[in-house]
Amino acid sequence: MQCSLCKGKGVWPLFRREDIPHYNLELIFDRDKALNVRRGIVDFYYCPDCAFAFNAAFDQGLADYQVSYESSRGHSAKFLEYMQHVVQDFQDIFGIEGKTVLEIGCGDGQFLEKMRSQYNFNGYGFDPSAKTDSTTDLKLIKGYFQPASFRPEVDIVVLRHVLEHQQNASSFLAAILGKGSYWNKVRLYVEVPCWEWIVKHHSFNAFSYEHCSYYSMDSLDQVLEMEGFQSKVIKYTFEGEYLQYFGERGRVKATGPDDRFQRKDTLASQTRIFYKNTIKALDQINETIHAHGQDAVIWGAAGKGTTLINILGLSYKTMEFVVDINPARHKTYIPGGGQQVVAPIQLKQIKPKYIYITNSGYLEEIKTIVNDLGLKVEFILLDRMMEGCCR
Ligand SMILES: [Zn+2]
């Protein structure tokens, strides 16, 4: 086994599970379909040489972003505030007025729309799930970006939450930005989940099938350098959960002390601790969930709740319901586990004794809802259990 980024031979195994659904957030309204979703192997390795984590069993050929997907975070005030910060950074570092901006993997075009509400620029967005009914003059195109048939001269390319889905970032970047003279001067913005944050927050959620590549600050800088980019600004953002990279091609890198090696050693030892503790914590959570069986429900069908169900291999026969406040998820079934997603009000019939919460930041909000329903339950904070094991 060698590192998919630097080809280093010193990689070590982090986490392996078979039968993990390809899509955590797919909306499925039928239990049989939810049980029979397409699954893949999650087999993560860590490379201490370049500080990069990757799923060695990921099959890029099977990736398909045209499934029915609910990943919008446009309702979260915290997230909208964050988007505004990104727009401000863009303006400060690159300047937006009059530029031509191309976003590859633009989703529903939310980011371009946000910039467009404040600045004048030519905006193009490509995504298989793009909404083409933009109310502005942005050009959102439903489908994958095809460089050969794209003519406009681009100043800035945006890749927000794209590279973590790519098994081989170098060949992906070479395919989209490799030819044509104007790509030689292009500026690049990249945003990805941050490995340092995952390790620090013992986020087992990282081991889903959707993301096959996790970058640290150093490995992100390295992979983009390999494609001829030099970073202007690279920083942690969104309370450390993401990495932001602003760079350009052909820029001469400023020389300075290189503290990368020391950072890599520290991150490698933190990653080892994360690995050992995650396995221990998941075993403990598994034991508790099986002991509580149908007396328990999980709160939160998005992200962490679904990932937990799948990495534990938890069937609806052991625990049947997952609660969620998002009406779009009600009456759906968890991909893989087959649990039914219900509205909080249905807890009056289900009468659980225990509610598992994956993010204790929402405890007070959940408590209020449950108290208003007149229910007496014990709350179990899974993230605190993870922390307890990781101390
Ligand atoms: Zn490596």
**How far apart are the CA of 52 and the centre of ligand 1, in A?**
6
pTM for this predicted structure = 0.88
> E-strand spans in the chain?
12-21, 39-47, 52-55, 100-104, 122-127, 139-142, 156-160, 187-193, 213-215, 229-237, 242-249, 296-299, 321-323, 340-342, 354-357, 378-381
- CA 151 to centroid of ligand 1, rounded, Å: 35
Mean residue pLDDT across the chain:
89
Cα 304 to chain centroid distance, Å, stands at: 11
What's the token pair of residue 368? 């209020």
Is the pLDDT confidence value at 97 over 80? yes
Contact 165, 63 (CB under 8 A): yes
Cα(307)–Cα(310) distance, rounded to whole angstroms? 5
Distant-in-sequence, close-in-space partners of 349: CB < 8 Å, separation ≥ 6? none
pLDDT-derived band at 24 (thresholds 50, 70, 90) equals confident
Give me ligand 1 centre to Cα 222, in Å: 10
252/238 Cα distance (integer angstroms): 29
CA of residue 216 to ligand 1 center, whole Å: 11
| pLDDT tens-digit map of 223-268 | 999 889 999 999 999 989 999 999 999 766 655 556 677 788 999 9
Ligand 1 centre from 227 Cα, in Å? Answer: 16
CA of 3 to the centre of ligand 1 (A): 5
**H/E segment holding residue 200:** helix 195-200
CA of 279 to the centre of ligand 1 (A): 23
143: CA distance to ligand 1 center in Å? Answer: 32
Is the predicted pLDDT of residue 279 greater than 60, yes or no?
yes
Average pLDDT over residues 355-372: 91
Residue among 212, 378, 366, 201 nearest 288 (CA): 378
3-class SS at 244? strand
- Using the mean position of ligand 1's atoms as its centre, give its distance from the Cα of residue 12 in Å: 11
Model confidence over 61-86: pLDDT tens digits? Answer: 766 655 555 455 555 677 888 999 99
Compute the distance from residue 49 Cα to the ligand 1 centre, in Å.
Answer: 5
What spacing in Å lies between the alpha carbon of 348 and ligand 1's midpoint? Answer: 51
- Give the distance (Å) from ligand 1 centre to CA of residue 2: 8
pLDDT, residue 19, reads 92
pLDDT digits 0-9 by tens, 159-190: 999 999 999 998 899 888 876 677 888 999 99
Ligand 1 centroid vs 329 CA: distance in angstroms?
Answer: 39
| Vertex 185: Cα angle to 182 and 186 (nearest 5) | 85
